[in-house]
Structure 1
Amino acid sequence: MQFGIFTVGDVTTDPTTGRTPTEHERIKNTVAIALKAEEVGLDVFATGEHHNPPFVPSSPTTLLGHIAARTENLVLSTSTTLITTNDPVKIAEDYATLQHLADGRVDLMMGRGNTGPVYPWFGQDIRQGIPLAIENYALLHKLWREDVVDWEGKFRTALQGFTSTPRPLDDVPPFVWHGSIRSPEIAEQAAYYGDGFFANHIFWPKQHTEKMVGLYRRRYAHYGHGTPEQAIVGLGGQVFMRRNSQDAVREFRPYFDNAPVYGHGPSLEDFSRETPLTVGSPQQVIERTLSFRDYVGDYQRQLFLIDHAGLPLKTVLEQLDILGEEVVPVLRKEFASLRPAGVPETAPLHPAVRKNTDGHHDTGTDGHHHTGAQVRNQEV
């Protein structure tokens, strides 16, 4: 199973000191956090994509390209690549280039974004969010698998005899996740292509996550990619840890109360009870994370959000030490012992990465997990 972290890249005032980091500091600190993730033995670092304050990751491939040059093992991913407002041609080019630079250590997560004004900034209409996501990904999927593409759709200029360059590394496209908080259409899209489905798993109760993942698993099997249990599932999560749970709650409370995403809303206790947010001891995080399997089944990737809401770099690095030393080793062992034979251990890796790892999982020649019909190369 893959464990890692994802960042939303917010620039937030530390409520305990009143200090706001500069954009330069936040970007540099994000790199330091990624390097620390590799140092402590995590598998994945993922960044969001935002084009509005108070966020800084407007150019994920630039950030990840720099991190690729300074790491050896991390899988570099996104926690959102805006499939709605980015041109699919540019996504195809940018992430294929990144894939070459990182020697295959790249996958990405498609998402629609949750900031309304971004759509008109890039010439789109938020009311068309789902159709944009479906059509744009159909084109991206085609661009990475066909050398010469003819295309006509509703939302962009037609293509005739177009070749996206560079081609994917060794003709194996990056593995794609489709991320969603609440849209069953996105779970359906992931299932249709045999791609991964990433449930944000941060803001909603477990019953909602269970429903979304269950839909994806059933439809994955319906399209002939394998059994429901073999579908590729990822989960988000939020944690804050100290050796003593009371210390964790006391330290994290001002950050929670003032966070730009959920601050000034439910109490920390209510939010922790109703969502997967876990603030406490390492053992509490282990137990809570293991409980996710009870309602989503065996899954392949767990990403934690640990660097938001104004938390200082020193604190984030301490959180990574705890994750790497005390939490993830136990989770790896426990999840592995519970996983039935035939269920993939991790998300698919590029062949160039697989040959340098100890993990073993069933992948097709295009780097995707296949046990039934091949992924259809056509529009949803």
Structure 2
Amino acid sequence: MQFGIFSVGDVTPDPTNGRTPSEGERIKAILAIAQKAEEVGLDVFAMGEHHNPPFVPSSPTTMLGYVAARTEKLILSTATTLITTNDPVKIAEDYAMLQHVADGRVDLMMGRGNTGPVYPWFGQDIRQGIELAKENYALLRRLWREDVVDWEGKFRTPLQGFTSTPRPLDGVPPFVWHGSIRSPEIAEQAAFYGDGFFHNNIFWPAEHTRRMVQLYRRRFAHHGHGTPEQAIVGLGGQVFMRKNSQDAVREFRPYFDNAPVYGHGPSLEDFTEQTPLTVGSPQEVIERALSFRDTVGDYQRQLFLMDHAGLPLKTVLEQLDILGEEVVPVLRKEFAIGRPANVPDAPTHQSLRSAGNGRDVREGSVA
């Protein structure tokens, strides 16, 4: 099972002192956090994509390319890549290039995004978001899997005899997760292609997460990719830890109360009760994370949000030390206990290359 972190790249004032980092400071902090993730033994670093304040990561591949040059083992991913407002041709080229730069340590998460104004900024209509996601992804798959593409659709100009360059490393496209919080159509899309489904359950109660993942698992099996238990599932969440729970709650409360995505809504206590947000001791984080398996079954990837809401870099790095030294080693051991032999690991470039010789071994059942 893979463990890692993701960043949404918000630039938020520190509520304890009122200081707001510059965009440059925040970008450099994210890069330091990514490198720290490898240092403490995590498997994955994922970078969000946003094109509006107060967020800075408008070019995830630029940031991930930098991280690739300064790490050796870390899998570089996105959280998410906007399949609706990015041109599939540019996605195909950018992430194939990143594959080569990172020696295959790349996958990506497709999503529609959660900021409505982004659509017209890139010439699209949010009311067509699901249709855009379907058509653009279907084209992206062809661009990665066919050397020469003739294509015509609804949302972009036709392609005639087009070859996307560079070609995917070793002829193996990056593995794709489809990220969604609330859209069953996206769970269906992931299941149809036999791709991964990432449910960022950061805002939602366990029962909603259960229903979404169960839908994906059933449809994965329906489309002939394996049993429901063999579907590839990832989860998100946020944690904040100190040795004593009371210290964690006291320190994190002002950040929660003023966070762009949390603040000015339910209380910290209500949110931690109703969602996966866990603020407490390392042992409490371990117990909460282990409970996710009761909700969704054995799964492949767990990502934590660590740097949101104006937390200073020093604090985030301390959190990563705790995560890497005290939490993840226990989770690796505990999640392995009783894990059925037929539950696959998360796909990697190496495993896909070995299994498919440069082609998606699941594709034949949905062609």
Q: Is the 8 A contact 2:172 2:360 kept in 1?
A: no
- Pick which of 335-344 and 101-110 moved more: 335-344
Q: Is the 8 A contact 2:172 2:352 kept in 1?
A: no
Q: Secondary structure of 1:108's partner?
A: strand
Q: TM-score, normalised by structure 2?
A: 0.98
Q: Is the 8 A contact 1:350 1:367 kept in 2?
A: no
Stretches of structure 1 lacking an aligned partner (at least 5 in a row): 356-361
Tell me if 1:326 matches 2:326. Answer: yes
Deviation at 1:101, TM superposition (A): 0.3
Match of 1:376 in 2: 366
Match of 2:92 in 1: 92
Deviation at 1:135, TM superposition (A): 0.4
Tell me if 1:129 matches 2:129. Answer: yes
How many Å separate the matches in 2 of 1:30 and 1:96? 23
Inter-CA distance 169–375: structure 2 relative to 1 (3 Å threshold): farther
Aligned pairs, how many?
367
Which amino acid in structure 1 is aligned with residue 4 of structure 2?
G
Deviation at 1:374, TM superposition (A): 3.2
Inter-CA distance 194–272: structure 2 relative to 1 (3 Å threshold): same
Deviation string 1:234-293 (CA, Å, 9 cap, x unpaired) is 000110000000000000000000001110100000000010000000000000000000
Match of 1:71 in 2: 71
Matches within 5 A, 1:194-209: 194-209=194-209
Deviation at 1:369, TM superposition (A): 7.1
Match of 1:22 in 2: 22
Inter-CA distance 35–259: structure 2 relative to 1 (3 Å threshold): same
How many Å separate the matches in 2 of 1:172 and 1:138? 16
How many Å separate the matches in 2 of 1:264 and 1:12? 15
Deviation string 1:344-374 (CA, Å, 9 cap, x unpaired) is 13x10012x889xxxxxx944447575xx73
Matches within 5 A, 1:1-380: 1-345=1-345, 347-351=346-350, 363-366=355-358, 370=362, 374-377=364-367
How many Å separate the matches in 1 of 2:364 and 2:302? 26
How many Å separate the matches in 1 of 2:352 and 2:43? 13
Deviation string 1:157-212 (CA, Å, 9 cap, x unpaired) is 01111111100001000000000000000000000000000001111101000000
Which amino acid in structure 2 is aligned with residue 128 of structure 1?
Q
How many Å separate the matches in 2 of 1:354 and 1:314? 38
Runs of 4+ with >4 A deviation: 366-370
Q: Is the 8 A contact 1:93 1:165 kept in 2?
A: yes
How many Å separate the matches in 1 of 2:40 and 2:203? 27
Deviation string 1:325-354 (CA, Å, 9 cap, x unpaired) is 000000000111121011013x10012x88
Q: Secondary structure of 2:128's partner?
A: helix
Q: Is the 8 A contact 1:230 1:342 kept in 2?
A: yes
Q: TM-score, normalised by structure 1?
A: 0.95
Deviation string 1:70-110 (CA, Å, 9 cap, x unpaired) is 00000000010000000000000000000000000000000
